[in-house]
Structure 1
């Protein structure tokens, strides 16, 4: 008989929330309930969530369609540079310019994939290098300062004790994405196209149009992340922490229940996956763990999830239980 916790972990719909509850309880016991659930700790978790969340959401949406947008990491840096450079008259103009650049970059990649029949991995890898190169050209390989200090302070000012303008914005966008996938036909078509492209075509779904929209959204969300992050840090850099953000976004999407084979995943699950990473990072920092320990623990969690997702795991576990000596002896005793 299967244990209910194993069933929940094997189910991609419930796994992210089980992992989140597990890591929260673990660090609450290790750090202390009062220390871990303090406003300062929760604020730190949500600030990291604001940095990785939208990148993981955009990447996760492309993964649900059985594609892969590696360029999100480069678009974070490019979007931040565009936002700062265009924010002379109005910060809103900078945000709009960054989002427009992100959306156009996503559309360009989708058109290349659709019209030329190219791999999304190859195209988005080229996009990653291209966006990073453009960011270096725009900035002259220098850090660009953001002059509106009042905006920078407002971006990080605590709201209700644990939130900031950045984290609230990201949370709202996750809720909107969840509503879109739950109640709209295009959201359901996205899952159908990722699960079985040929069957979706027969059912009247237009995968090319969906891919264009998803890649545009992925680029837009990555550019918006870069803009908000640069405003909050009062500067923009061409790299934009691209390597760290890309790895974190991929891990968060997988922990959030998104399947690499497509057709599976939900925005709220991705949000829970991001929070798992954020809690791990904040909890290990509170315990004084070395930076390499963060990578080791995150890798172990990801490895456990990969093992649980093994195609023949249930059958192997059943065979292992049947092969146990005490079970064989018990069965022979019953036959007597």
Structure 2
């Protein structure tokens, strides 16, 4: 009973901690109930498709979410995603490993450059990563001549999308593995505590001995490598590279990170929550597809969802919730 009261008190102090599990639970219930409110028949292929969407978006959610944990925001993930995919297709035709190496190299360079500018020079991440996003899209278009490039290695394409246990694929399993590895590092090493300390109060973290510059650079490198690898694997899977993926991947990645319980102000969140947020967005996208909803309906839904999350994460609402919780607790103690 005492343990239950401790958990209850924690969730009352920060109700957004309930967001990842509650959002995923509601979404999965809506997915299971799909035949009851649409003409769609639910099959294992629908789950497979949802996890394919997850494999495409989850690395962006994870990379963006990691920078948000530290109080930053990496808008360049979609540009890195596009460039990594284009490099993989152009250089991995004869040997897929060369394409992956090119994408990884680009991700490391982009992450190091951005992280160094933001950490060492103290420049806010938003303008830096926005400028990088625009520059990377321009570079990707220049490399491709503004045209899509085909990938002529069908063996790799077929293997990446080969069903495993009916609902998984090598690509989705690799994505889950990335969450497990990074989650273990954050959960069982000093790095995880330092990331949250930087997001909560960067100045205080430096005073306490945290190497904040090094951690920030590492976060931006991780984010860029995840985005570039995701773009490479996606384009191998599609058999083509598109020089302009549009802004929807960034919108869905931001929605996934916020649904995963990452605070806009930094310092709060977990990799497990980001995993739940990515799965929520993936299954929501499959519900929209299976139910054959109009495109504008899906866009309005995602816009409303983002607005709701931002309101829930608003500092003023959190302070009001905290004051209300203190009053209720005080009354219970007095009675």
TM, length-normalised to structure 2: 0.87
Q: 2:283 pairs with 279, 285, 300, which one? A: 279
State yes or no: 1:217 paired with 2:222: yes
Q: How does 1:72-87 map to 2 (within 5 A)?
A: 72-87=77-92
The answer to whether 1:306 aligns with 2:310 is yes
**For the Cα contact (< 8 Å) 1:10–1:309, is it kept in 2?**
no
Assess if the C-alpha contact under 8 Å between 1:197 and 1:207 holds in 2.
yes
- Matching residue within 91, 99, 107 for 1:102: 107
Contact 1:31 1:283 in 2 (8 A): no
Larger radius of gyration: 1
| Runs (5+) with no aligned partner, structure 1 | 321-336
Tell whether 2:29 aligns with 1:25.
yes
Match of 2:271 in 1: 267
Which segment drifts farther, 167-176 or 23-32? 23-32
SS at match of 2:33: helix
Q: Partners of 2:246 and 2:190 in 1: how far apart? A: 33
Query: 1:1-34: per-residue Cα shift (whole Å, max 9, x none)?
Result: xxx8xx589533332111110121133234249x
Q: 1:44 — aligned with what?
A: 49
Q: In 1, distance between residues paired with 2:52 and 2:295?
A: 18
After TM superposition, give the deviation of residue 315 of structure 1 in Å.
Answer: 7.3
> Which residue does the alignment assign to 1:90?
95
Change (3 A) 1:215 1:288: same
* Separation in structure 2 between the aligned mates of residue 205 and residue 314 of structure 1, nearest angstrom: 28
Check the 8 A contact 2:93/2:151 in 1, yes or no.
Answer: no
C-alpha displacement at 1:230, in angstroms? 0.5
Task: Give the whole-Å Cα distance in 1 for the aligned partners of 2:186 and 2:44.
Answer: 32
TM-superposed CA distance for 1:69, in Å, is: 0.8
What corresponds to 1:237 in structure 2?
242
Deviations 1:89-126 (A, max 9, x none): 31012112101111110100111223332111111111
> 2:116 is matched with which residue: 111, 133, 141?
111
Could you list the per-position Cα deviations for residues 48-67 of structure 1 after superposition, in whole angstroms to 9, with x for gaps in the alignment? 00111001110111111111
Distance 1:237 1:13 in 2: 37
The C-alpha deviation readout for 1:295-332, integer Å capped at 9, x for no partner, is 22223333333333343447768999xxxxxxxxxxxx
Per-residue CA deviations over 1:203-225 (Å, capped at 9, x if unaligned) read 21011101110001111000001
Question: How many corresponding residue pairs?
Answer: 314
2:68 aligned partner: 63
CA distance in 2, matches of 1:204, 1:64: 19
Q: Would the aligned equivalents of 2:34 and 2:42 in 1 still touch at CA under 8 Å?
A: no
d(CA) in 1 for partners of 2:323, 2:115: 45
User: Given the alignment of the two structures, is residue 289 of structure 1 paired with residue 288 of structure 2, yes or no?
Assistant: no
The two structures, once aligned, show a CA RMSD in angstroms of 2.4
- Deviation larger for 308-317 or 129-138: 308-317
Whole-angstrom distance in 2 between the partners of 1:91 and 1:41: 29
Deviations 1:197-249 (A, max 9, x none): 1111122101110111000111100000110011001011211x141111111
Pick the aligned partner of 1:199 from 201, 204, 207: 204
Provide the secondary structure at the position in 2 that maps to 1:150: helix
Query: Is the CA contact (8 Å cut-off) linking 1:280 and 1:298 kept in structure 2?
Result: no
